[in-house]
Amino acid sequence: MLEIESLCVHYGRREVLHRMTLAPMQAGRVTALLGPNGSGKSTFMRGIAGLIRAEGRIRLGGKDLSSLAVGERSRLAAYLPQSLPPTVHLQVIEAVMVARRAGEAVSAECALRDSTDVLEELGIGHLALRYMDELSGGQRQMVGLAQALVRRPAMLLLDEPLSALDLRYQFAVMDVVRRETRKRNIVTLLVVHDLNIALQRADDVVYMRNGRLVAQGSVMGVTTPEVLGDVYGVETRLEVCPRGLPHVLVDGIIGEDA
């Protein structure tokens, strides 16, 4: 599990995350990090990944991540940024093999086998011989996910993996993330802006506002009109469809005259 205690990040003299302490996040569950723009979600993810200096305790499976060398930490925690790196003229299978061999001495045969396996698991084996600079945004996002998973991390950190994707790929990526999280029994955190997709595909949620924790728990356990009003400043209704999936309806902005 992932344990976070008194997480604090400064940009210069400005404190962006304010001593955030969360309940342990369990392996095999997807946790969505939710909140308005500027609430510190991406900073939170980058702090956990070790990409920026963060104070506090971050423990994964009992290991203090801040005490680990950069290479070991990156093997445990795979981070997929909001903006993928510029495309290169590499075949997909080559790009995934590069990720498999990063920071670990494995043979070309092993890297090829593992890369082929993860592409098939994600349902994109047919893209193996395509070039990265020929792919659509959704296809590139799936390949980025393959590059993260092929490293066999204990934790997966996804910063807005659905950005710029069409509706089909949004649900495809979320379904893959949920399935692989359970199959591999890893800790998965992701930042999502579409509230309904998050509530319908994540197991747990962390609500943030102004760099502070507002609420944390299971989707239906903590998502209430009161919490959503506090976090987003909107009046909402939470309904459940016949399939048992939650859906948020926004009636208006709090404090705005009718």
**What is the model's pLDDT at position 142?**
87
The whole-angstrom separation of Cα 178 and Cα 226 is 27
Residue-wise pLDDT tens digits, 20-42: 999 999 999 999 999 999 999 99
User: What is the end-to-end Cα distance of the chain in Å, rounded?
Assistant: 46
Please name the amino acid found at residue 104. Answer: E
Q: Per-residue pLDDT for 161 more than 80? A: yes
What tokens does 83 get?
């903006």
Q: Per-residue pLDDT for 85 more than 50? A: yes
Indicate the Cα dihedral angle 1, 42, 72, 8, nearest 10°.
-80
Q: Per-residue pLDDT for 190 more than 80? A: yes
Contact 177/145 with Cβ under 8 angstroms? yes
Residue-wise pLDDT tens digits, 4-24: 999 999 998 899 999 999 999
The whole-angstrom separation of Cα 45 and Cα 36 is 15
Q: For all residues of the chain together, what is the average pLDDT? A: 90
Contact 248/196 with Cβ under 8 angstroms? yes
Which residue do the tokens 């999280």 mark? 181
The whole-angstrom separation of Cα 140 and Cα 14 is 35
- CA distances to 86, 209, 220 from 235, in Å: 40, 16, 17
Prediction pTM value: 0.90
Determine the average pLDDT of the residues in 174-189: 93
Determine the average pLDDT of the residues in 101-119: 89
**What is the model's pLDDT at position 258?**
47
Question: Domains in the chain and their CATH numbers?
Answer: 2-253 (3.40.50.300)
The whole-angstrom separation of Cα 166 and Cα 162 is 8
For 171, phi then psi, to 5°, come to -75, -35
3-state secondary structure 102-123: CCCCCCHHHHHHHHHHHHHHCC
